Amino acid sequence: MNKLLKVSSNPHIRSDVSTNSIMMAVVLALLPAAGFGIYNFGIRALFHIALTVGAAVLTEYLYCVLVKKSITIGDWSAVVTGMLLAMNLPVAAPLWIGVIGAMFAILVVKMLFGGLGQNFMNPALGGRCFLLISFTSLMTNFDCNVDGYTGATPLAILKEGGNVDILDMFLGKTAGTIGETSMLAILVGACFLLITGIIDLRIPGTYIGTFVLFVAVFGGHGFDPAFLAAQLAGGGLMLGAFFMATDYVTRPITKRGQYVYGILLGILTGIFRLYSPSAEGVSYAIIISNLLVPLIEKVTLPKAFGKGGEKR
């Protein structure tokens, strides 16, 4: 028997889980919310999803061809980006807007910074915020001539002091973006990701818990269950907490950092919702937190034992 130790380069712990299998799992988890969005808003929602996903995949493919890099569309990350971006679009927006947003998300936010693993913010949210800044009126228009629920979103009604139907918000029978209306459908997909181990509750749990506490203290309604439930079910909070804040690339890698990240997300979302002119704020909260991840990791990185590190 050879008693010599086997020496190899890192990583020394490997997993059979691949990038494309993770991304395919995320796509499957998004299907309930995407499917309900199509049911809720009609065939136009399907066109938005198909065109946005197609534009994301094609942009990545053409970039790889032009710069003579290996084709990376097989990892399914462009599909995830396209789906998330499309699900953050109002169905009333022109169909070309998702194409523009997908091109920006893939080309500017992702590929120009080195591709998957190098992007400094969530590409889908980068694309959405680019569209919000560039085409504000189109991205905030929830009135359309298609079958489905249109008009003011529940969060906008709440901000004006109106009343909302929480059950309708939970089921998704309200106005909003294509993939954010049904809290039930989003939670079904989130449970799939939790059961399969793709994500855990550190970030979404801390995010949602911090947000609830912030709104209860500063929202003017105290711990009113109806108001808090409406805030949780409305807008993109659930979609953002489970599907975008948990992005492997743009979240902290340290456990303590993930808790800090979740707290920051909850506070920023609460500030945007309560004190900004807009009734929403999830997208900007996640992007700002993405930019602060290097600092969060720096202050939460565990110290090594021994010289210069922790002592016992």
Would you state the pLDDT for residue 271?
Answer: 95
Q: Report the domain count for the chain.
A: 1
Q: Within a domain: residue 305?
A: no
Residue 1 is predicted with a pLDDT of 47
In a domain? residue 13? no
Cβ-Cβ contacts under 8 Å for 255 (sequence gap 6 or more): 202
CA-CA distance, 120 to 310, in Å (whole number)?
31
Position 141 scores a pLDDT of 85
pLDDT at 279: 76
5: helix, coil or strand? coil
Res 9: pLDDT: 46
The CATH number for 250's domain is 1.10.3430
pLDDT at 31: 97
Contacts of 195 (CB under 8 A, 6+ apart): none
Q: How many CA atoms lie within 13 A of 20 on its CB side?
A: 5
Say if 136 falls within a structural domain: yes
> Which residue's entry shows tokens 């969530």?
122
> Which amino acid appears at position 299 of this protein?
V
Low-confidence ranges of the chain (pLDDT < 50): 1, 8-13
In the DSSP assignment, the letter for residue 245 is: T
In a domain, 304, yes or no: no
* 9 within a domain of the structure (yes/no): no
Q: Is the pTM of this model over 0.95?
A: no
In a domain, 6, yes or no: no
Structural domain for 129, as ranges: 20-299
Q: Are 33 and 179 in contact (CB under 8 A)?
A: yes
Q: What is the pLDDT of residue 302?
A: 80
Structure tokens at 121: 């913010």
Cα(271)–Cα(217) distance, rounded to whole angstroms?
A: 12
Is there a domain that residue 230 lies in? yes
State residue 309's pLDDT score.
57
The pLDDT of residue 12: 44
Handedness of CA 253, 254, 255, 256 (dihedral sign): negative
Token pair for 34: 């995407």
Instruction: With beta carbons less than 8 A apart as the criterion, state whether 176 and 153 touch.
Output: yes
Residue showing tokens 């194409």: 99
Whether 307 maps to a domain, the answer reads: no
